[in-house]
């Protein structure tokens, strides 16, 4: 792929990009039995964010690559609106809670039937603030849930036995790449994100989990723009940016919890540590892992696109299970499974609340 083509894709679909230096500051498991809902206490999942959590909110008629082959080839066997060959982070969190993946908000608008597992409001390419895509930012996504409460699609009682998953910020950084005062922007972004989390909790959701940002320097699309190839070396400068953001996020979450009288409702899912563990990153290079070429995307080229003659402008690796990354920005199903596995030991504490028992293993 030429650099200019990669950059265009990057602007539209990026999980994250920053160029300003900062100081350091397997397939999815089978769904558990229905009685796990009682044991876990959490019966619904409400999802907000971007392409790391979107399970199909963009319409199939949209130019979005997530509705084109080869996306979805592993699960469900055809494009489903997920930015991967199969299941993604929100699918695994739902499975951990013992429930099915919540339906996309767009599906509810189309069918008018709210499923029992909650709802997914995430839109690929969106952010905390407005970005390059014409999709709902996080504030608007939260308003969608508020409207569903007003319409009695869900009740306050439903929310008391729910969990919220929030995955969004990468596209904000992409959109504001050339902001002159980036340090101030990071503070503004993390402050607004914290206000959003607080608002979700005040609506009645007892536990709100937000993802820390993944290591930017280890994302193939970012490495390509930096080095001109998909090398097995992470960009440490970009990872410093990630750590700066995550440090501010941690401080804000701590303050939110300190201000609460009902325990610690806000938790962080450490994607940075999980990605580093799954890729076995040491000294900015992937170490031995189950992935043959950890930073080599399975779908190379303009993934999901064809030219005027119908010829594919991409190629897919022989075995997606051996690839951590599906395309230049998003993990494969196997990659997300590895990330989830790295997170799993911390999930009982994260999702335990005074209103429910800790989730049990299955």
Query: Could you list the active site residues?
Result: 51, 327, 330
For 225, phi then psi, to 5°, come to -70, -25
> From the CB of residue 23, how many other CB atoms can be counted at a distance below 10 Å?
9
Partnered with residue 286 across adjacent β-strands are: 281
Q: Secondary structure of 264-283 in the HEC alphabet?
A: CCEEEECHHHHHHHHHCEEC
Residues 6+ apart with CB under 8 A from 124: 13, 50, 51, 54, 57, 58, 64, 66, 83, 133, 135
Q: How far apart are CA 173 and CA 156, in angstroms?
A: 34
- With contact defined as beta carbons under 8 Å apart, do 167 and 211 qualify? yes
- 146-165 as b/e, with b when 16 or more CB fall inside 10 Å? eebeeeeebeeebbbbbbbb
């Amino acid at each position: 792929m030429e650099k200019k083509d990669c950059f265009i894709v990057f602007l539209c679909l990026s999980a994250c990009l920053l160029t300003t230096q900062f100081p350091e500051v397997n397939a999815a498991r089978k769904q558990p039995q229905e009685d796990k809902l009682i044991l876990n206490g959490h019966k619904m999942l409400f999802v907000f964010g971007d392409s790391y959590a979107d399970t199909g909110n963009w319409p199939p008629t949209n130019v979005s690559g997530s509705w084109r082959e080869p996306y979805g080839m592993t699960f469900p066997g055809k494009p489903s609106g997920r930015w991967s060959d199969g299941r993604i982070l929100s699918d695994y969190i739902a499975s951990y809670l013992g429930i099915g993946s919540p339906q996309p908000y767009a599906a509810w608008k189309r069918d008018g039937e709210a499923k029992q597992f909650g709802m997914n409001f995430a839109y690929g390419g969106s952010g905390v603030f407005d970005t390059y895509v014409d999709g709902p930012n996080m504030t608007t996504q939260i308003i969608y849930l508020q409207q569903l409460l007003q319409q009695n699609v869900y009740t306050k009682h439903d929310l008391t036995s729910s969990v919220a998953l929030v995955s969004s910020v990468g596209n904000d950084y992409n959109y504001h790449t050339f902001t002159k005062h980036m340090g101030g922007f990071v503070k503004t972004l993390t402050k607004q994100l914290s206000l959003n989390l607080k608002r979700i909790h005040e609506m009645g959701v007892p536990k709100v989990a937000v993802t820390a940002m993944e290591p930017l320097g280890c994302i193939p699309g970012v490495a390509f723009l930096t080095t001109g190839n998909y090398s097995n070396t992470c960009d440490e400068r970009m990872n410093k940016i990630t750590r700066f953001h995550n440090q501010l996020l941690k401080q804000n979450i701590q303050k939110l919890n300190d201000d609460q009288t009902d325990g610690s409702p806000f938790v962080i899912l450490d994607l940075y540590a999980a990605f580093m563990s799954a890729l076995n990153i040491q000294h900015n290079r992937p170490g031995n892992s189950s992935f043959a070429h950890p930073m080599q995307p399975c779908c190379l080229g303009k993934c999901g696109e064809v030219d005027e003659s119908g010829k594919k402008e991409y190629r897919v690796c022989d075995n997606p299970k051996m690839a951590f990354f599906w395309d230049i920005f998003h993990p494969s199903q196997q990659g997300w499974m590895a990330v989830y596995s790295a997170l799993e030991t911390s999930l009982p504490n994260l999702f335990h609340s005074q209103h429910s028992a800790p989730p049990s293993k299955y």
